[in-house]
Amino acid sequence: MQMAKQLIHCKFREASGDLLMDFLINLNKRNKENLSSLSKCNGVFKDKRVVEYILLITREMRLDPLVGYHAIELFQRFMVKHLMNLFNAHTSAGVQPRRHKDARTFFDKIKEKFPILIFSCVQLASKLSLYSQMINNKTAVQFLHSVGISVSTQSLFNSEMMILKALEFRLHVPNPLTYMEILLEVLGHNEPSIHVERLYDMGHHVLQFVSLQRTPIYETLLKTISQCLNPTREQRYHICLAAMFPDVLAQAVTAMVVAG
């Protein structure tokens, strides 16, 4: 589905050089920490339909685009953490694990809650945003009812708490749009003649495309690097692209390069 154009308000050239340097050092550190602690399941829940659903909610509720990309990362981390917790609880109870069957069983238990969990990630992200109005439970219930999802405020509260506890209340996670904004700020600082506002608008649309077509794009890159039409599991694991796949910094740079 083609994403409708959003109004984007982002001011550039307002940060000092020292502040930008601190931002870059901090983001680079966080990105490395993120890559070093990745789960083998990372990226599984960045399915095109999930990403599109989140971006559409963000647009319909007139939220800052950052909220959507933050919510995508929250949902990915929550699902991996939650399913791992279920699996560990299952095995600690003395039940012999059957990987594929158990994974399907755990997934079936939670898939009916997907729409609410996804929306809760958007709601949590909105509460952390400096530029968007926070989505309260009344507004959330009204919106969900308008799209045919019946839910109570208590159910929404329970969903939020479920996510918060699974993530151990660690909600400040990197997302590609944040990286792109900071890199453009640096570009505008170093090259005042460049129209970074125009690049931002174009880069945002490119980032939407990359996010929605993430799997086929990286599959093509993987096949190119491995020079194999059907890369083996071992090849996927050892090729450096496996580390690049979830790298939000790489996504941000890709959007900037294409936009430029």
pTM: 0.79
CA–CA dist 4, 56 (Å, integer): 9
Number of Cβ atoms within 10 Å of the Cβ of 234: 8
Q: Which CATH architecture has domain 45-166?
A: Orthogonal Bundle (1.10)
Domain segments of the chain as ranges: 45-166, 176-259
CA–CA dist 107, 142 (Å, integer): 28
Place of tokens 């409708």: 4
Number of Cβ atoms within 10 Å of the Cβ of 125: 28
- According to DSSP, residue 229 is labeled S
The Cα diameter of the chain in Å comes to 65
pLDDT one digit per residue (tens) for the chain, 260 residues: 333 344 445 677 777 778 888 878 887 787 777 766 666 666 677 888 999 999 999 999 999 999 999 999 999 999 988 888 877 776 665 555 555 555 566 667 777 788 999 999 999 999 998 777 889 989 999 999 999 999 999 999 999 999 999 999 989 888 888 888 888 888 888 888 888 888 888 888 888 888 888 878 777 877 777 788 887 777 665 555 444 444 555 565 555 555 55
pLDDT of amino acid 187 = 84
pLDDT of amino acid 243 = 45
Amino acid identity for residue 30 in this structure: R
DSSP helix, strand, coil percent of the chain (3-state; round to 5): 70, 0, 30
pLDDT of amino acid 7 = 40
pLDDT of amino acid 167 = 93
Estimate the crossing angle of helix 65-92 against helix 176-190, to 10 degrees: 140
pLDDT of amino acid 102 = 54
pLDDT of amino acid 158 = 94
